[in-house]
Amino acid sequence: MEISKINSITSFKANKMPKAQAEYFNKKLLSSDSVDIFCHVATDEDAFNSAKIMYDYLNSNGVKPRIICNNASENYGFNNKTYDIIDINKNKSKLQRAKTALCLDFSDPIRIRGNAFEYLNSFPKSNVFCIDHHETEKPIIDSNTISKSEKKEPEIRKIKNGYLDTTAKSAASILVRFFEALNIPMSDNQKESAFCAMTDDMNKEKLINISNGQILKSEEFEEDDNVKEVFENIENSISNSKKTEILEHLDVLSRLTPKEKAFRMSLYKNIKVTPNRKFAYVIIPPDDKNWKRIGGDTPTASKILRDFRTRILEHKQIDEFIDNDLFSQIQDVQAIAVFYPDTKAGRYRVSMHSNKDYAFKIIDLIKEQYYQPLKAGGHPNRAGGSTQTLDKNKCAIWANNFICAGENIKYS
């Protein structure tokens, strides 16, 4: 099978990383003798695979990289002989700080907590770099930002240590643009990592769906040239056998244990809907036994919760998990949230999916009327947040802020 090459920069139509920005990052990173690559809490495929892409690049250029995560080696099963993965909760006291810190898939302090945040905060600000695609109010460092409303190639007035492109659907797709701007070919391993990262993040956004080992592309995907070109250039550059292997890796829901299947079903039994019928939610208490039985906040649990939220929001009358009674309750739902404990981090979390940017509108209303210090963010229709407590009463009060906001925001 002939593997096609990534388009040259002259034909690249998607939002580009300005060459000056890419060269600045490249010079700073390659002039470091060591780089610690930070992933956000609840590390996902995009964060970890983006870290792998940059790890491979730095390592091949004589820079010593490390990946800083929480339990990533256990969660993802990657070989520590290939990647130097540091569990910050176990190794903080033993770490000798690298010269440079690179934050991938996050730029907001709310997305990195505890020991990882303390360790990142020990770096001089001038040695901290961020590449991200999430909107943020208070980035860790000053950042150049491309918003959805700006032109394709915005003027970059000053080179800084951060680059945020909120039009991108994954951090990995920004890294593709980084190498494209430098006219540096990506290795097969890097392209495979990028494909895995982009596929998982776009599946979250329902831009694509994975079905029977195939990728089904939505109408929205086909109409978004910015997203389409970056993804398809990578998709067409790897073999069918590798694509199949990656899609099987991502299809976690086909390999659930009996306990995980039982937990999944319990979500549909415990769903509640606010009186306005627009906001649905499930509360998993801090001491929930079923949650503990499946291992708590794991990548598998995250995908079970995500699939649940998207099914509820799709309002499909024919769904193996949604009977007629449940459908009648949720057919007008425009936003859904799941509240659950992150026991290892000692915090209580929420993850939301919505239509028409209601997730961000709910967060904004909470900050305006219910709880100004709320720590939450992400994407307008796929957002989350947390509070640093597992006290049952405090968690209930915190969750109630979202429920009240979900009842009282203005739905069009």
pLDDT, tens digit (0-9, with 9 covering 90-100), for 369-392: 999 999 898 889 999 999 999 999
Residue 71's pLDDT is 57
Residue 87's pLDDT is 81
Residue 107's pLDDT is 87
* Helix H or strand E encompassing 378: strand 375-379
Amino acid identity of 291? Answer: W
Q: Name the nearest CA neighbour of 1 among 250, 249, 243, 246.
A: 243
Residue 57's pLDDT is 98
Q: Where in the chain is the domain with CATH 3.10.310.30?
A: 254-408
Residue 195's pLDDT is 96
| pLDDT block averages, 10 residues each, the chain of length 412 | 37 76 95 95 88 97 92 53 81 82 89 85 92 80 55 43 88 95 96 95 86 86 90 94 91 92 96 98 96 91 93 89 94 98 91 96 96 90 94 97 97 92
Q: Name the nearest CA neighbour of 159 among 138, 181, 185.
A: 181
The model's pLDDT over 102-141, given as tens digits with 9 standing for 90+, comes to 999 998 877 887 788 889 989 998 999 999 988 776 777 7
Q: Where in the chain is the domain with CATH 3.90.1640.10?
A: 12-184
Residue 108's pLDDT is 83
Q: Name the nearest CA neighbour of 280 among 202, 332, 215, 221.
A: 332
Residue 151's pLDDT is 40
Residue 6's pLDDT is 41
Starting at the edge strand that comes first in sequence, how are the strands of the sheet with 335-342 ordered? 272-273, 279-283, 335-342, 347-354, 382-387, 375-379
In the CATH scheme, what is the code of domain 254-408? 3.10.310.30
Q: Name the nearest CA neighbour of 19 among 153, 150, 127.
A: 153
Residue 154's pLDDT is 37
Residue 4's pLDDT is 36
Residues paired with 128 in a beta bridge: 101
- The pTM (predicted TM-score) of the whole model is 0.79
In the CATH scheme, what is the code of domain 12-184? 3.90.1640.10
